[in-house]
Structure 1
Amino acid sequence: MSTIADAVAVRPAPRQIAWQETEFYGFIHFGMNTFTNREWGTGHEPEELFNPTAFDARQWARVANEAGMRGLILTCKHHDGFCLWPSRFSEHTVARSPWRNGHGDVVAEVARACAQYGLKFGIYLSPWDRTEETYGQGKAYNDFYINQLTELLTQYGPIFEVWLDGANGEGPNGKKQHYEWERIYATVRRLQPDACIAVSGPDVRWVGNEAGHVRPNEWSVVPASLRDQDAIAAKSQQEDDEDFARVFSATDDDLGSRTALAQYEGPLVWYPAEVNTSIRPGWFYHPVEDDQVKSAAALFKLYQAAVGGNGTFLLNVPPDPSGQIAAPDRRALQGLGRRVRLLQAENLLADSRVTYSSNPTPVSGTALFTKDLEQVWTPSADDPAPAITVQLPVPTPVNAFVLREQFTAGQRIEDTEIAVQLPDDDRWYTVAQVGSVGYQRIVCVPQQAITAVQVRFKQFRALPLVSYLGATDLCQQD
């Protein structure tokens, strides 16, 4: 049986810490499907169909930067098998297309654009390939896949994430391919040791839906069995179904609470959640969806739920057949970026006075108002009611509180109560009760002017290590 002491002892790897701090990054679905107006290609589509007339990776990176993203992940090869780089191991690539007279390399241009705009670069390489003839033949295909993965990991600079899809279809011989996952992981570790391996990988957990839904309490310390690749594949999209991205189930909403861990006898791992969804109904660009782009307000709500729910936010933005991000998407992303920057910059508690129920370290009163993981408050071991109390200089309208713990030392906080005082009233009113915190928790509350806030730590797996406390009036609510 897994114990609370076991859970507290689990720590993130340095690559997972860097990944979590990336917070928000983009998914670029671009390829043959962009030109066939499909979501899933069938394979063997004529290479001459791929011919963006105004391709501009710098525009993609600029728009991502404006949106507040800190990285981009490119679908270097989707299930149809068409490669956006001139792979030496396939003829089904950009080298046989008219784009750039057969001398183009989308992966190279996107990697350079990311570097120019200060973005991290990640790759998506579909394990399923509907063109490659060795698919379903075991070792022959696994060798082919490793060869292509090696190209991507050695030719395009630092990679922060390798996104491995769970889709696994039938090969031309009617057999499924059994992927050599451990060999894939070893290849990434050897060639890009700082890269996180996501979804069908050991570093980053798919949140379990493509609707942007976040669990009420998202735990980073979870049973190691959640890394089971067959189970991940079973929950992944199995067919070209446009409704898949809008559906989620609440049946597995508790993965890491005391109750969940008490029922598990195996090892625990640090396996944090990535929340992914698309700005449009589909993952690839379709002109009929130009009037179905999510609004800036809707995107910001998804952002604050994911990044403010101990996850990261991976937002798909599909370029159009010209090779550019379309105007409706750009407008929504610019509006999102303005909100994200304001949220990151604002802390309405910054000029307040802080007192602690105990302060053995000690930490200064203003230390928790800056996002510095090294400035941490922890209560004394004999503190019967650990709490942080903040007195604001003037009544201030607030509709959310932001809390972080020093997640590099593990996930500890389990139950927190937030209470406020109102103008001309010295009573405390509880406005929120939250569970897990982890990297960051954004707690939305009804907006009202407050004069003080008290954060009470009711239950924890080890003494809380609080690294940030903030307040904002920017929370997007229903």
Structure 2
Amino acid sequence: MLKYNSLLAGKDQQDCLYPLIFIAVMKKVYLSVLLVLAYHCGMAQLQQPSTKPNLAQQAMIKRGYGMFIHFGINTFADVEWSDGTIPVEKYNPTHLDPDQWVKTARDAGFRYVLLITKHHDGFCLWDSKYTTYDVAASPVKTDVVKAVSDACKKYGIQFAVYYSLWDRHEPSYKNQDKQLYVKYMLNQLTELFTNYGNICELWLDGGWDRKPEEWGIDQVYKLVKQFNPACAVSVNHTIVNEEGKRNFTVPADMTADNKYFFQYFPSDFRLWDPKIITRYDKKQYLHAGKSYYLPFEHTLCISDRWNWFEKSAQLPVRDLDELEELFYWCTDNDNCLVMNVPPDQTGRIREYTALAAIGLGKRLGLSLTKPLPKNGTFISALKPVKASSVYEDTAHRYEGTSVNDGSLESRWAAADTLASLEITLNPSDAFNKISIFEYKDIKQLPDGFSQVRLPRIQEYAVDIMTNGEWQTIYLGSAPMGDCKVIRLPRSYRASALRFRVTKASAPPSLYELCVINKVIGD
């Protein structure tokens, strides 16, 4: 050590540094070559047809549960969509607090935050040098994208961005040369991916306004992967029935591998906002004769009114029972869920809304160090069902078997008010939980998106067949809500379960009736 130190003194020190510098430079060159090779290998892996999750998909599946944040100029106009003409001065949060948003996400057990950076109106939540329709031109100039990104680092959760392809404000969007607007998007996405740290997901929307090939999705995908190969990228309405045709299929129909096709290629996951997949969801989808693995990411509103942007009026949130069952459904089978928890016009998430999200996380026992919890064993799935009556409709089918087919798109509808159905069970299978999703009549609200759901079933009973006799184990004397969860304090075994409607305002209808064995700790 003394000899080494003596060489670093005076002229000897200078002479000695040359070979050390050369070695350091060569190490950097070697490392750079390795990184480039690793990047291109990663890109090749991302692009290859595969029956297994790629790098981005593996990271996405591991995240599993995120918080969507709809906030922007629409928040201050009480609308869901706008056309890019709302004056920028309208954006004026009085107590803007992105730290509160992300802290809420952390406390609620979300693993990532998905921020609306630009909606269809074109208003940007960051200071973009490519437009004047952004926060920098508004009364409150805080760079919201930076504030949320910084808060994600602070609270130890990941950061994702939503970016609308459709832009109703930007002049280049209307140019006949579609590449001009693609370049605009690439410039803005470069700003997002170079100035705000690691971005784990890019959620693209609004693709219906142009032909799929006019959006430059391949250019967007390539750009994003240059910044982060593990960033998952997709476009809303990802999959279609026929290749090259905009003939959509709902996610609940995606029950066969290699049957449906990419509309937007390349993509890392499927989106159909706000549809819900079947419990028998499949993962292989086709493009140009090759098969690709694609998980599904669900989007739900915490709002009972299905509003994405918060309104000036206080609106109720969903019941915890419904949120819990939707969580289980949407995160099952290596799929993901982002739940929208929007700030209001003050720039804060309302306390009762934040508490609902946190309450759900506490009930589920969510932790960054543990896998996402599961619902239990569905002992009624695909079992024989007998309905007392079925509503006849030439355009739709409403059989009793719809209540246990694993789809929230299909439903049983009765022909009369006092109706019932029976599900055959295996008498050796134990159960201690029943969840019921009721179909409700819908009243649309003036904004064109929000809605009020009106129940039909007012009173009902649940019976089980044991020793040749029916025994009532639950009697409901009030409307069941959007999702009724019956947690039984003891386990039962039965050869059949019967659901009886004893009072209703109209012929009852159910999406799903699930008989579940929920093991403590699941």
TM-score bucket (shorter structure): 0.5 to 0.7
Matched, 1:198 2:234: yes
1:218-237 equivalence runs, <5 A: 222=258, 225-229=260-264
Contact 1:61 1:117 survives alignment (8 Å): yes
Give 1:400 shift: 2.4
TM-score, length of structure 2 as denominator length: 0.56
Following the alignment from structure 1 to structure 2, what is the Cα–Cα distance between the partners of residues 160 and 146?
17
Corresponding residue SS for 2:125: coil
Matched, 1:327 2:362: no
Contact 1:74 1:123 survives alignment (8 Å): yes
Q: Which moved more, 1:301-310 or 1:67-76?
A: 301-310
TM-score, length of structure 1 as denominator length: 0.61
Give 1:327 shift: 2.1
Following the alignment from structure 1 to structure 2, what is the Cα–Cα distance between the partners of residues 267 and 9?
9
Structure 1 counterpart of 2:104, from 63, 81, 90? 63
The residue number in structure 1 matching 2:91 is: 50
Following the alignment from structure 1 to structure 2, what is the Cα–Cα distance between the partners of residues 201 and 399?
28
The residue number in structure 1 matching 2:519 is: 472
Contact 1:122 1:159 survives alignment (8 Å): yes
Give 1:178 shift: 2.1
Following the alignment from structure 2 to structure 1, what is the Cα–Cα distance between the partners of residues 368 and 72?
34
Residue 118 of structure 1 aligns with an amino acid whose one-letter code is: G
The residue number in structure 2 matching 1:26 is: 67
Contact 2:238 2:264 survives alignment (8 Å): no
CA RMSD after TM alignment = 4.1
| Percent of paired sites with the same residue | 30
The residue number in structure 1 matching 2:282 is: 256
Following the alignment from structure 1 to structure 2, what is the Cα–Cα distance between the partners of residues 176 and 334?
39
Contact 1:29 1:319 survives alignment (8 Å): yes
Following the alignment from structure 1 to structure 2, what is the Cα–Cα distance between the partners of residues 82 and 342?
34
Give 1:329 shift: 0.8
Residue 292 of structure 2 aligns with an amino acid whose one-letter code is: V
The residue number in structure 1 matching 2:297 is: 274
Matched, 1:285 2:284: no
Contact 2:50 2:293 survives alignment (8 Å): no
What whole-Å deviation, never above 9, does each CA across 1:194-219 have from its counterpart, x for those lacking one? 1000235989xxxxxxxxx9859878
Matched, 1:340 2:339: no
Structure 2 counterpart of 1:108, from 146, 149, 153? 146
Contact 2:117 2:161 survives alignment (8 Å): yes
Following the alignment from structure 2 to structure 1, what is the Cα–Cα distance between the partners of residues 151 and 330?
26
Following the alignment from structure 2 to structure 1, what is the Cα–Cα distance between the partners of residues 279 and 331?
17
Contact 1:279 1:294 survives alignment (8 Å): yes
Name the structure, 1 or 2, with higher relative contact order (CA <8 Å, separation 6+).
Answer: 1
Following the alignment from structure 1 to structure 2, what is the Cα–Cα distance between the partners of residues 19 and 249?
18
Structure 1 counterpart of 2:321, from 294, 297, 300? 297
The residue number in structure 2 matching 1:41 is: 82
Following the alignment from structure 2 to structure 1, what is the Cα–Cα distance between the partners of residues 84 and 209?
12
Residue 294 of structure 1 aligns with an amino acid whose one-letter code is: R
Give 1:272 shift: 0.3
- Measured at CA, do residues 199 and 249 of structure 1 come closer, stay the same or move farther in structure 2, by a change above 3 Å? same
Corresponding residue SS for 1:190: helix
Residue 345 of structure 2 aligns with an amino acid whose one-letter code is: P
Give 1:450 shift: 8.9
Count of paired positions: 332
The residue number in structure 2 matching 1:85 is: 126
Residue 117 of structure 1 aligns with an amino acid whose one-letter code is: Y
Following the alignment from structure 2 to structure 1, what is the Cα–Cα distance between the partners of residues 73 and 99?
20
Corresponding residue SS for 2:214: coil
Contact 1:222 1:271 survives alignment (8 Å): no
- Measured at CA, do residues 236 and 341 of structure 1 come closer, stay the same or move farther in structure 2, by a change above 3 Å? closer
Structure 2's unaligned 5+ residue stretches are 1-48, 240-249, 379-425, 432-484, 494-516
Give 1:298 shift: 1.8
Corresponding residue SS for 1:329: helix
If you compute each CA radius of gyration, which structure gives the higher value, 1 or 2?
2
The residue number in structure 2 matching 1:182 is: 218
Contact 2:261 2:287 survives alignment (8 Å): no
Contact 1:320 1:326 survives alignment (8 Å): yes
What whole-Å deviation, never above 9, does each CA across 1:63-122 have from its counterpart, x for those lacking one? 1112110110111000000111010101111111111xx4x2000000001111111000
Matched, 1:163 2:203: yes
Contact 1:200 1:227 survives alignment (8 Å): no
Structure 1's unaligned 5+ residue stretches are 1-7, 204-212, 238-243, 346-369, 373-397, 403-426, 433-443, 452-469
- Measured at CA, do residues 189 and 399 of structure 1 come closer, stay the same or move farther in structure 2, by a change above 3 Å? closer
What whole-Å deviation, never above 9, does each CA across 1:245-284 have from its counterpart, x for those lacking one? 5xx599x987639xx99x9994321100111111121110
Following the alignment from structure 2 to structure 1, what is the Cα–Cα distance between the partners of residues 375 and 281?
28
Structure 1 counterpart of 2:137, from 74, 91, 96? 96
Corresponding residue SS for 2:223: helix
Following the alignment from structure 1 to structure 2, what is the Cα–Cα distance between the partners of residues 314 and 11?
23
Following the alignment from structure 1 to structure 2, what is the Cα–Cα distance between the partners of residues 264 and 182?
13
Contact 1:400 1:474 survives alignment (8 Å): no
What whole-Å deviation, never above 9, does each CA across 1:184-243 have from its counterpart, x for those lacking one? 11111111211000235989xxxxxxxxx9859878x655x532139x9xx999xxxxxx
- Measured at CA, do residues 254 and 303 of structure 1 come closer, stay the same or move farther in structure 2, by a change above 3 Å? closer
Residue 180 of structure 2 aligns with an amino acid whose one-letter code is: A
- Measured at CA, do residues 445 and 266 of structure 1 come closer, stay the same or move farther in structure 2, by a change above 3 Å? farther
Following the alignment from structure 1 to structure 2, what is the Cα–Cα distance between the partners of residues 308 and 249?
11
Corresponding residue SS for 1:42: coil
